């Protein structure tokens, strides 16, 4: 674990040459260790960059401020997305991993900041796995993300993210020319085994050649 480069974070180099680096982004109240145990199931051999969110909400780490449930502080979101993107670029240079092979894996708040980086700082991420994500911001103009590959895995009965909001996110990301796969899970806002299975298949298909 390190506290340099602006974020407390964990970094683990890839064990397989040419493997991508997974940018792990936790949900509200999580930390840099939360998603690490999932990596062998997501993409064995991948590198890991896992920062802790720098915003505190009642003592719980997040990646950006919100004004209420589902109501985001858009000024802070823009700032934090840029801050995270700068961290990722700096970490790639510092640890000497391929900056063109970084794939975000985010849950809830982490998925929303990953979407924000895709929308506000195109080119930083090669793709993303978004668990329980919603539309964080609609940029004007919408950027081009040709070549980016995204998986959205949301729950049909999620009390926080409606099916309509999920479809709106998929439509927004597709409008950037990203290749977007949307899969539905039967559960709510919790991460499930089918989520991990879908993420593994997606990552193996799109980023698993190394």
Alpha-carbon distance of 76 to 15, in angstroms, equals 36
Identify the CATH number of the domain defined by range 9-207. 3.40.50.1820
Selecting among 76, 175, 181, 189, the annotated active-site residue is 189
User: Catalytic: 189?
Assistant: yes
Q: Where along the chain do its domains lie?
A: 9-207
Q: Is the pLDDT of residue 3 over 70?
A: no
Selecting among 116, 153, 158, 200, the annotated active-site residue is 158
More confident residue, 1 or 190: 190
Selecting among 108, 115, 116, 153, the annotated active-site residue is 108
User: Catalytic: 15?
Assistant: no
User: Catalytic: 94?
Assistant: no
DSSP class of residue 2 equals B
Is the CB of residue 148 less than 8 Å from the CB of residue 118? yes
pLDDT of amino acid 1: 46
Query: pTM for the full model?
Result: 0.96
Q: What is the pLDDT of residues 157-197, one digit of tens each?
A: 999 999 999 999 999 999 999 999 999 999 899 999 999 99
Tokens of 74: 């858009």
Alpha-carbon distance of 19 to 23, in angstroms, equals 13
Alpha-carbon distance of 171 to 155, in angstroms, equals 17
């Amino acid at each position: 674990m390190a506290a340099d480069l602006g974020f407390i974070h964990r970094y683990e180099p890839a064990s397989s040459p040419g493997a991508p680096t997974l940018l792990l982004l936790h949900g509200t109240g999580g930390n840099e260790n939360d998603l690490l145990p999932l990596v062998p199931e997501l993409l064995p051999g991948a590198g890991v960059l896992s920062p802790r969110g720098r915003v505190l909400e009642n003592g719980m780490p997040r990646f950006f401020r919100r004004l209420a449930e589902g109501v985001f502080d858009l000024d802070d979101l823009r700032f934090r997305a840029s801050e995270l993107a700068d961290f990722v670029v700096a970490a790639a240079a510092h640890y000497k991993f391929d900056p063109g092979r970084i794939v975000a894996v985010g849950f809830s708040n982490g998925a929303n900041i990953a979407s924000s980086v895709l929308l506000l700082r195109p080119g930083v991420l090669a793709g993303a796995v978004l668990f329980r994500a919603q539309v964080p911001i609609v940029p004007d103009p919408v950027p081009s993300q040709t070549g980016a590959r995204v998986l959205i895995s949301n729950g049909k009965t999620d009390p926080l993210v409606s099916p309509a909001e999920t479809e709106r996110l998929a439509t927004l990301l597709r409008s950037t020319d990203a290749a977007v796969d949307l899969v539905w899970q039967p559960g709510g806002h919790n991460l499930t085994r089918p989520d991990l299975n879908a993420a593994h298949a997606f990552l193996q298909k799109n980023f698993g050649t190394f």
